[in-house]
Amino acid sequence: MDRLWSPWRAQHVARWAQTPDEGAASEARPTLFERLAADHRDEDNLIVWRGTHVFVLMNLYPYTNGHLMIVPYRPVAEYEALDDAEQVELARTLARCLRWLRHALQPDGFNTGMNLGSAAGAGIPNHLHLHVVPRWNGDTNFMPVVGATKVIPEGLRDTYGKIQAVIAADEDR
C-alpha cells in the first residue's frame, strides 16, 4: 500500500495514548471518546456541539469534508444498550447534523451509520458512535480508486469554523 505522509496523526496518537496510572491497572481505562468528552477543549478536540446525552465531533481522519460523529457520553458497545433518552437524543442530533451540514457545506447527499463490533469495522468497539458523512456528486475520483489515497480539499479547522457558524445561527432561532 502506498503511504501518504501525515505527521499530525502521530501527534494525535501520542496525545491520546493510554498510559495507566500506577495502581490503576485493574481499573477499566476510559475510552478515547470519554477522554475527549471530559477534556472540554472543544475547539482543540473538534467537538462542535454538546447535548445532554450525546456530543458531536468532527472525524480527525474524515472520509470527506464535514465527516461528523455523534457519540453518547456513556460508553456503550451495543445500540440496544442505549436507554430511551440516549436513543431519542441520538436520533434528534442526527437531524441537527444533517441540517447543519446542508447549510454549511451544501452536500448532495449523506452516508450515515454505525460499525457495531470489531467484525463490523468498529475502530472503538466498546463505545458506539454514529457517522454522518456528507457526500457530493463526483466526490469519488481516481485517487482512492487508483492511488488508495483520499483527498480532503479543505482543512479541518476551516470546516470546523463553517459548521460552528451554522450551529450558532441555528441556536439563535
SS (H, E, C) the chain: CCCCCCHHHHHHHHHCCCCCCCCCCCCCCCCHHHHHHHHCCCCCCCEEEECCCEEEEECCCCCCCCCEEEEECCCCCCHHHCCHHHHHHHHHHHHHHHHHHHHHHCCCEEEEECCCCHHHCCCCCCCCCEEEEEECCCCCCHHHHHCCCCCCCCCHHHHHHHHHHHHHHHHCC
From the list 67, 103, 129, 131, the catalytic residue is 129
Residue 129 is among the residues annotated as catalytic for this protein: yes
Q: Which positions are annotated as active-site residues?
A: 129
